[in-house]
Amino acid sequence: MAQSAPTSGALPSARSPVKFPVWSLAVFGVAFGLMYLPTFITLSQTVWATDEQGHGPLILAACAWLLWGMRDDLFGPPAKPAVVPGFLLLLLGLLMYVVGRSQRVIEFEASSLILVLVSGMLLLQGIAALRRAWFPFLFLLFMVPLPGALVQAMTLPLKSAVSVVAEQILYWAGYPIGRTGVTLTIGPYQLLVADACSGLNSLFTLESLGLLYMNIMNYKSKARNTILAIGIVPISFIANVTRVIILVLITYHLGDEVGQGFAHEFAGLVLFSVALVLTYGLDRLLAARFDDMGGARDGR
């Protein structure tokens, strides 16, 4: 009886996984850095230098940290480049960059950064990798400066609401306070609720922090995440009213010089402290319900 010789090696039809070409990622990273270095310089000298939108670098650093932590999941599997959608997004991103840079529209210029990054992920790894990295790219939207028209349209109503609530609380507490528009009068002092006290920018900052918190906690319940994300909106308003009340009380009891000095900066720290405590408290209340319903943290 004839004995067949043992076969060696893999079958002809079997294909080994295509390893990710590290050099292509290096080329893309160098080109991306050279292209957007002027953008980062412009942002650091303009909108990122303001109190209202100074959170931009923190958002960028958080996204880089998230992507670095996901590097094995993103670049470990075999690459399946999505050429057509990748090049279309790249062309759109480059067009927005050229328009924004030439016309000095920083919103276009910063937004193009996200499109170029997304197109790079599609061209290097494909749609599956983009789906895994959806949150860092979505989180980058908080880095884009808010359009001036939107800020102006939303700031005045928010300032008015903060002024009304702060006045009523202090009036109920027995303080001699009055209000004209967004100007609060208490004793011999008048305090104008400025744009920075409207809560608009703190709302976006706190919302971004809340989304980052939910991503890190990785709750399985979509209802829990949705409630927590929506709950940050009133939490931001409450924290901002607390900030205004503290400034009014410091000015009334200690004088205008103290109220406009260190205490003003301290009130900003109080705002975020109150917001973080309330956010954590809301999360604990949600845990009492959703943890028992299978909505606790995922195991990954």
Secondary structure (3-state) at 65: helix
Task: Determine contact, residues 186/251, Cβ cutoff 8 Å.
Answer: yes
- Please say if 63 is a catalytic residue: no
Indicate which residue of 197, 224, 289, 297 is catalytic.
197
- If one counts every other C-beta atom within 10 angstroms of the C-beta of residue 163, the result is 23
> Is 131 a residue of the active site?
no
Cα–Cα dist 127/133, whole Å: 10
φ, ψ of residue 20 in degrees (nearest 5): -70, 130
Active-site residue identified among 63, 179, 224, 243: 243
Question: Distance between CA 99 and CA 71 in Å, rounded?
Answer: 32
Beta carbons within 10 angstroms of residue 5's beta carbon:
6
Pairing between β-strand 177-180 and β-strand 183-186 as defined by DSSP bridges = antiparallel
As beta bridge partners, residue 34 has: none
Active-site positions read 197, 243
